[in-house]
Amino acid sequence: MTYKVGIDLGGTNIVAGVVDNKYNIVAKAECKTAVPRPEAEICDSMAAVVKEALKKAKVKMDDVAHIGIGVPGAVNPETRVVETSPNLFFQNWEIAQMMEERLHKYVKVENDANAAALGEFLAGSAKGSKNAIAITLGTGVGGGIIIDGKIYSGSNYAGAELGHMVIVKDGNLCGCGRKGCWEAYASATALINMTKEAIKNEKPEFSYMLNAVNGDLDQVNGKTAFDAMKDGDATGTEVVNKFISYLATGIINVINIFQPDVLCIGGGVSRQGETLLAPLRAIVEQERFTKHNDKQTVICAATLGNDAGIIGAAML
């Protein structure tokens, strides 16, 4: 059997997986990315986790067809160069050439969100569709677009930056430098900031959420408001409803533009399941342009989790 290897290069962890022809991950290995550090050191670490994953899978390098890498940032899959990766602090990184020197296998490279979208399209919640979009709610809002079974990334390979469409003119400052980006309102980071702000506006002695984090705002996470809402807390409910309304605004825009068969949502916030998805769908159903059409976009949770990026990278 021939295998492929997928590498998910993140700002925190490097994970490599050996993938078979049925999109199953046979074995994985990982290490810390430990940025910032030189390109060569990152490549050494990636090569090491690949070899470790192959050892765990009991697969020889001779049985590997090729290696794929998902990298955050603007990635040119034709030149196989990472043109810019703010999270990794690199520009014009000839990553494929450097990895080929270490592993002696052909290396393919793609944006990490695009790789994750491909993974969900091939083996996850978007399997069987023709056109699909994957949204990841994390530090930012990542997006991957599949059209007619192929990754869409635009003429400069930096397309699908869905998190950077403006949904509030002159709104909150985004990390990209613009104001009002969807990412500044619908990411897990934005949800945490909303939760903290809501707690600050309450009287400490009556704040359910402040008590839930033992009076330490640094303990607030993406679950805090959802957990409070489930326990009947009015402020937590208000935060969740506001967050979902912002999330819905961007999703309606995406659906109106692309009309995908499936739009799947990943990231930690997506683990709220129907608590998140049911009210989200209700807003989308009322406001989307095609609300009177028989065929509608299916909105669902991504199913592969962090494995989506590994499978997608392997199958580039």
Burial grade of 19 (CB within 10 A; 0-12, 13-18, 19 or more): buried
Residues 214 and 100 occupy one common structural domain: no
Q: What angle do CA 101, 105, 107 make, to 5 degrees?
A: 90
Provide the domain count of the chain.
2
Structural domain includes residue 115: no
Residue-averaged pLDDT of the chain: 94
Does residue 306 or residue 166 have the better pLDDT?
A: 166
Closest CA to 18 of 27, 7, 30: 27
Q: How far is CA 143 from the centre of its chain?
A: 7
| CATH number where 51 lies | 3.30.420.40
Model confidence, pTM: 0.87
Name the pLDDT band for 53 (thresholds 50, 70, 90): very high
- DSSP codes of every residue in 95-120: HHHHHHHHH-S-EEEEEHHHHHHHHH
* pLDDT exceeds cutoff 80 at 87: no
For 139-143, which contacts have Cβ atoms below 8 Å and span 24 or more sequence positions? 139/187, 139/188, 139/189, 140/175, 140/183, 140/187, 140/189, 141/182, 141/183, 141/186, 141/187, 141/250, 142/112, 142/113, 142/116, 142/267, 143/113, 143/117, 143/254
Q: Which of 6, 18, 13 is nearest to 34 (CA)?
A: 13
In this structure, what token pair is assigned to residue 60? 């020889």
Same domain, yes or no, for 208 and 257? Answer: yes
Chosen domain end from 105, 140, 174 = 105
Mean pLDDT, residues 18-30 taken together: 97
Residue matched to tokens 């470790």: 52
| Same-domain pairing of 167 and 287 | yes
Whether residues 192 and 289 fall in one domain? yes
Judgement on whether residues 77 and 171 belong to the same structural domain of the protein: no
pLDDT > 90 fraction of the chain, expressed in percent and rounded: 85
Residue among 47, 2, 5 nearest 309 (CA): 5
pLDDT band at 1 (very low <50, low <70, confident <90, very high): confident
Higher pLDDT, 86 or 286: 286
Query: What is the torsion angle, in degrees rounded to the nearest 10, for the CA atoms of residue 118, residue 122, residue 126 and residue 129?
Result: 110
CA distance 256 to 288: 7
Question: From CA 26, how far away is CA 16, in angstroms rounded?
Answer: 11
Residues 233 and 289 in one domain: yes
Domain membership of residue 310 (yes or no) is: no
Note the helical H segments in the chain.
Answer: 39-57, 95-103, 112-123, 183-186, 188-200, 208-212, 224-230, 234-258, 274-287, 307-314
The per-residue pLDDT for 279 is 98
Same structural domain, 81 and 164: no
Query: Who has greater pLDDT, 85 or 123?
Result: 123
Q: Which residue has the higher pLDDT, 180 or 85?
A: 180
The domain in which residue 66 lies consists of: 3-105
* pLDDT score at 155: 85
Q: Residues 220-247: pLDDT tens digits?
A: 999 999 999 999 999 999 999 999 999 9
Q: Which residues contact 164 (CB under 8 A, 6 or more apart)?
A: 174, 176, 178, 181, 182, 183
Q: Please work out, in degrees rounded to the nearest 5, the angle formed at the alpha carbon of residue 17 by the alpha carbons of 12 and 20.
A: 155
Is residue 158 domain-shared with residue 294, that is, in the same domain? yes
